[in-house]
Amino acid sequence: MGVLNVTPDSFSDGGRYTSLDAALRQAEQMLADGAAIIDVGGESTRPGAAPVSEQQELDRVIPVVEALHRELDALVSVDTSTPAVIRACADAGAGMINDVRSLRRPGALEAAAGTGLPVCVMHMQGEPGTMQNDPFYEDVTAEVIAFLEQRVAACVDAGIPRDKLLVDPGFGFAKTVQHNLRLLAELSQLARLELPLLVGLSRKSLFGKVLDRPVEQRLAGSLAAAVMCVERGARIVRAHDVKETVDGVRFAHAVHRSL
């Protein structure tokens, strides 16, 4: 899953793809590099990020989804929590909903169910603006699993078939370095959910803290983490550096196929 940020303040490449043409070129390159999905986000959800208005999110995302659908044969995932954006993106040709808030906003479950699209639900406590203020867990992996089970049940109750759901532990969302490391070490336990596992670690501050690297020097750490996640059952890896991540994942698969 290649990351296409169309927000001016995204944590890793904010502002580079605000022009539609630049976004299309970047998407084309990620597909050429082996991405199966392009994840388009109009709201930055990095820690401390300011909330974005519904209209702002629509204005950023819809033209990109329309262009990607028109110009490229790509599965477009939309990173949004907003019911109006969920509906508009589905109409514009999006193929998947990726909601870091797991459809907890009023109307989001109904909007997603109405689109018939696959949905990724992800663990987060609180909101991006405050989620890193001293997050606490008795057992982070057990609590992440319990949260995901609850959101899966809510989606199924709202009419989203279970076979259209994916789960994601939400690395970097309301988690300390220790929580993220523990969650990665115990990632295999999420297999209990019996749903495809999506992970997003690319360039996150975890690598800055463990490896003391600035955001533009986190490729090696991100690749190590991607391979570890695949070895522990991840099926989709959300990444900025698609070409390199695809090679890492392909190599991990080759090793597993040798068994």
Catalytic residues: 204, 238
Which range in 14-22, 42-50, 110-118, 224-232 contacts ligand 7PV by CB under 6 A?
42-50
The residue among 202, 157, 195 whose CA lies nearest residue 41 is 202
Question: Closest CB to ligand 7PV among 48 and 256?
Answer: 48
Provide the CB-side half-sphere exposure for 87 (13 A, CA).
9
Q: Which distant-in-sequence residues (6+ apart) come within 8 Å of 51 by Cβ?
A: 43, 127, 129
Q: Which of residues 61-80 bind ligand 7PV (CB under 6 A)?
A: 79
Residue 7: CB minimum distance to ligand 7PV, A: 10
DSSP codes, 201-214: -TT-HHHHHHH---
Question: Closest CB to ligand 7PV among 185 and 255?
Answer: 185
**Would you state the structure tokens that stand for residue 28, as one six-digit string?**
């084309």
Interatomic CA distance for residues 42 and 67, integer angstroms:
15
Cβ neighbours around 221 below 10 Å, total: 19
Burial of residue 5, with CB atoms counted within 10 A of its CB: 0-12 exposed, 13-18 middle, 19 or more buried: buried
* 204 near ligand 7PV, rule: CB under 6 A: yes
Instruction: Build a one-symbol-per-residue string for 216-245: x at contacts with ligand 7PV by CB under 6 A, - elsewhere.
Output: ----------------------x-------
* Strand, coil or helix: 174: coil
**Contact, 14 vs 44, CB < 8 A?**
yes
* 46 near ligand 7PV, rule: CB under 6 A: yes
Among 57, 66, 168, 241, binds ligand 7PV (CB under 6 A): 168
Among 30, 40, 144, 173, binds ligand 7PV (CB under 6 A): 173
Question: Closest CB to ligand 7PV among 66 and 203?
Answer: 203
Among 4, 11, 17, 112, binds ligand 7PV (CB under 6 A): 11
Interatomic CA distance for residues 91 and 83, integer angstroms:
13
Instruction: Build a one-symbol-per-residue string for 88-117: x at contacts with ligand 7PV by CB under 6 A, - elsewhere.
Output: ----------x-x-----------------
**Contact, 13 vs 203, CB < 8 A?**
no
**Residues forming the site for ligand 7PV (CB under 6 A):** 11, 45-47, 79, 98, 100, 120, 122, 168, 170-173, 198, 200, 204-206, 238
